[in-house]
Amino acid sequence: MSRIRTKGNLFETQFAKDFIKGTLNFLSTSLIILLEKGTCSRLALGNEFSFNNANSIKVFHDAQYKIGFYHQLGVPVVGLHFKPSEQFFGLGGSKVNSDGKSHGSYATKSEINFMGNEIKKK
């Protein structure tokens, strides 16, 4: 997707909107997890999704997320504003924040579980 320059335009087409809604309704899911800030922003433009303000995960300052709701199915939505694949594979570099966490440290199982539990609490 990162190589498609017009991906923003693709998501704005009626076909894409109908496809996303149809897929979510077909799956009848109990939770939706969105990846990347841009995805949350695009979906928040309509009235089917709503989101609160961004939060940071304790000690993982760059791992921001939003809690939201998909009104058509009545299910919660978690919008991750970071790219989990980069953190999961430890590609985030060695820069350390004030709590001693680098993006690379996001990749351990215990840290991923910690982040998930922090979000789940909200």
Q: What is the pLDDT of residues 12-65, one digit of tens each?
A: 788 887 898 899 889 988 999 888 777 778 777 778 888 999 998 888 777 889
Average pLDDT over residues 89-99: 66
Q: What is the rounded CA–CA span in Å between residue 65 and residue 96?
A: 20
| Predicted structure pTM score | 0.74
| Residue 90 confidence (pLDDT) | 53
Helix (H) or strand (E) holding 77: strand 75-80
Which residue, 29, 32, 39, is CA-closest to 2?
A: 39
Which residue, 68, 85, 73, is CA-closest to 119?
A: 68
